[in-house]
Chains A and B, each alone.
Chain A
Amino acid sequence: MSTILPLTMTNVAVRRRGKRLLGPVDLEVGGLGLTIIIGPNGSGKTTLLRAMHGVERLSAGAVRWSVSEEEARHRQAYVFQTPIMLRRSVADNLRYPLQLLGAPRAEVSRRVNDWLARIGLEERASLQATRLSGGEKQRLAVARALIRRPDVLFLDEPCANLDGASTRAIEALLRTALDEKTRIIMTTHDLGQARRLASDAIFMLHGMVHETGAAERFFGTPRTDELQAFFRGDIIA
């Protein structure tokens, strides 16, 4: 199966009310694996992720995929920092992205049941999704994003408010997705998680890509002073 990758960002900038939130950014993401985006709060991680996904209005530059924009839009998914639950049952939340595509009923049920089992929410299938716990909601959101088998999955701090067990459950889902050749790009402020999952990494600072590299090199021998300081936990001006 062909993929929509590589993703190419050229001269991308986002400005709001005269303030530069992002860029200019030039970046290419291809191949397989999981890209981690780290950086201090407000450094533009979320903005970068949204710009990649195409849901942030760009002030300059372009985001391109190897296929048409229309096709690329269908083959990527995004998990928001605070999971957005449709006011429907858990099963209907999973069903929704497939329904939008007009998938056949039998196929939809099969995949919904499969994913309910994978995220351990079979018992809760008919519960209103808004009543789930935080960890369950995030699992459901990840499953809902993966159910269309996207080429690329974006996640914005998926484990920000979760305990250890819930974090492990999410990471397990992501590992399976990686095994199934889904390209993942995610932000996190959990450096342990970053080291566990990353195949390569991006360090954001003041809305700019400050340093990139393969995971081993990036975490082992950071080149810039700022990234070293960030790893030490220092406050970066």
Chain B
Amino acid sequence: MIPRILAVLAALTLGMAALAEEMKMAVTTSFENSGLADVLLPAIKEDLGLDVQLLVVGTGQALRLGQAGDVDAILVHSRAAEEAFLVEGYGTHRREIMYNDFVLIGPAADPAGIAEAGSAIDALRRIGTAEPAFVSRGDDSGTHKKERALWAEAGLSPDTFGAWYREVGAGMGASLNTAAGLDAYILADRASWLNFGNKGGLALLYAGDPALFNQYAFLAVNPERHPHVRNDLAVQLENWLTGPRAAELINGYTINGETLFIFNAKSQ
């Protein structure tokens, strides 16, 4: 019996060989949820012969992964945190790639009336006054940081809010699931919202204020800090991401006919 079982196990456990060059890049949940990666990664593989392995995490963890040298590059959207990352010498430089925008989602009936708001700040003030259920990512992600910044600009502090303000400490999709379950307001990136399959009674209520724009930047991990990182591959990838093929794919990417990202990398 035992030799037979071992033979079966051995057959099953044989590793799956990887032949192409590989690098690891930490990206934010919102980027992965947009579905853009499914378009870009095959093109990268085609053009560069490079397998980019994505670690889908919050911005906070993405930066930590870069600091620890566990990834070769990061693609995130939280400028202040990115600059701190550079100042501490963990990255070589920051390269802007593209932006998309955040949207305010809420119950279709819109009890706080944010659809008529004049600005994103005004929309948040209305929510702060009406105190409807509001779901916050609460996971230190780029989206979460953006939300905190907007509250601050509106002169409000989530730490003083009552039970209507719920920090779920989860990714975008899980947070949207929660919001759908609670019929709550939530700040989401447009891509995640469009790709989200369980909208329930939620609707897009407010968008368009430039204050809601969301800049993505690429940062290669500093090889002086972590000699083992594949900086050569990260540089190749950066060049590709800022090049014409990427521009075409990013600007041409739509969900339900809506454009999601605007390519805005400056050539060096």
- Are A and B in direct contact (Cβ within 8 Å)? no
Chain A residues near B (Cβ < 8 Å):
none
Chain B residues near A (Cβ < 8 Å):
none
